[in-house]
Each structure stands twice: as C-alpha cells, then as structure tokens.
Amino acid sequence: EAQFGDFANGAQTITDEFISSSEQKWNQRSSVVLLLPHGYEGQGPDHSSARIERYLQLCAQDNMTVAHPSTPASYFHLLRRQAYARPRKPLIVFTPKQLLRRKEAQGQVADFTTGRFEPVLPDHTQPDPSGVARVIIASGRVVYDLEAYRAKTEDTATAIIRLEQYYPLPAGEIARELARYPDADVVWVQDEPRNQGGWPFLALNLPAELAARGEDRPLKVVSRPESAAPSTGSSKVHAAEQEELVTSAFAR
C-alpha cells in the first residue's frame, strides 16, 4: 500500500515490468493487490491522485482488475473475490481515505454476509424512471458529494450510478442500468482533471461498448479542467473547484 497514491510513481517500472505484463511475457500469474489511496480532499497534488489513468493505460487482454469501491461491503466482496478468483490476476484498488470518516460510507452486517461484488451499483434511492432527466455515472469519493447535493436541492430528476470497477469494463451492467432511464442524458462525473482519472479510458472505450449493446446516447463529462498537476495546492481553490464541479453535474 502506498501512503498516498502519487507515491507509487517511483514503483511505476515495477508495475510495468512485473504486474501488468508478466502473464503475457512469461505466463506468470499473480494475485497481488495494490491499495492506492486516492481522493480529492484539498490536501495538495501529491495527496490527491493515485494516477488512475496510468493503470488503465496498462489494461488490455484481461490482464488485471482495476477497481474503485465506494462502500465497505463492496471493498470486502472485492477482496474476497480476489482471494478465490482463478486464474489469478493482479488487482489495483483505489481507496479514498475520506470514506474512512464519512458517516454515509457505512454498511450493515448483512451487506457483508450476503451478496457479492457488483461492478456497477444502482441508485439506492430508486428514483421513478419516468421522472429522471439525467443519469450521472461516478466512482469513488465524489459519489457522496453528488448525493449530498442532490438531497440538499431535493432533486428528483437525477439518478446516480456508481462504477465500482473500471477494468474489465462492465459495459453490460452499465447498459442495463441506463436502460432503466431511457429519456435521460448521461454524464460521467469525476474529481480528477479531464486528462486524468477514468475519463480518458472511458471516453476511448465506453461509447463503443455501449453502442454494441444498443445504447447510443452521447456520453458527456463533468470534471476539473485539464491540468499538468493532479490538483491544486490551495485548499480554498480546491473547495471552490469542488463546488463548481458538483453544481455543474446537475446543471441542465
């Protein structure tokens, strides 16, 4: 586990040589798990990003699993699945530290003793599909900011779907959830700048995967602007950016 995600940068050559490609190069399989703290909490560039985009660039041919669980039970079932999975594959997990403290990020005992890891989680509020005008797809910590804003504004026209796994891309599960809201537009929302996070990978792969399943609505994006650094170094600027990000996600 890296103390903060960006600190894994120094191990990038190990990831490239021995984790992402060892099965193809040497037919060597591993179930190693990397836990990379990742979360935009206003603590500066080096304490924000685990460089999701870098790991997704290494994904091909079902070589490893990349996940970003948003609930304790999802995290538990992900690790349990990893322990039992055969053939073995490396697992990269982005673990927002903020979710250790947020009261909303809690689970019941039954959530752990039943069920299994779900790569896509539906909107737990179960909104009326006929009244939904926008579907937000998001992953990790930002989900809770979006849900808090929705509750505060009493917005009943927006559904929020959680993407718990980036790769292998669960396009079928996403398509099934989107089909519940046929009259809504679709927006991907992320904390990260547009050139980072999950968006470069999703923009390249998700539209075609959805189209193959009969879902051809355009995929929009709400994110921070493109940036050379993972995040700002000012907590005040971070707070202003986060407020703009969340309000933009709901703006029609």
Instruction: Output the pTM of the full model.
Output: 0.95
Please report, for residues 41, 108, 145, 194, the alpha-carbon distance to residue 47 in angstroms, rounded to integers and kept in the order given. Answer: 8, 30, 19, 18
- Name the residue with tokens 């099965």: 23
Non-local (6+) Cβ contacts of 138 within 8 A are: 146, 160, 161, 162, 163, 188, 189, 190
Would you list the DSSP string of 185-220?
A: EEEEEEEEETTSTTHHHHHHHHHHHHHTTT----EE
Residues 183-196: what's their mean pLDDT? 97
Backbone φ and ψ for 177, nearest 5 degrees, come out as -70, -40
pLDDT band, very low/low/confident/very high, at 252 (cuts 50, 70, 90): confident
Two structure tokens written together for 216: 């051809």
pLDDT band, very low/low/confident/very high, at 97 (cuts 50, 70, 90): confident
- Name the residue with tokens 């599909």: 129
Cis omega before residue 168 (within 30°)? Answer: yes
- Give the pLDDT of residue 147: 97
Q: What is the pLDDT of residues 49-59, one digit of tens each?
A: 999 999 999 99
- Give the pLDDT of residue 10: 84
Q: What is the pLDDT of residues 26-37, one digit of tens each?
A: 999 999 999 999
Backbone φ and ψ for 23, nearest 5 degrees, come out as -65, -45
Measured between its terminal Cα atoms, the distance across the chain in Å is 40
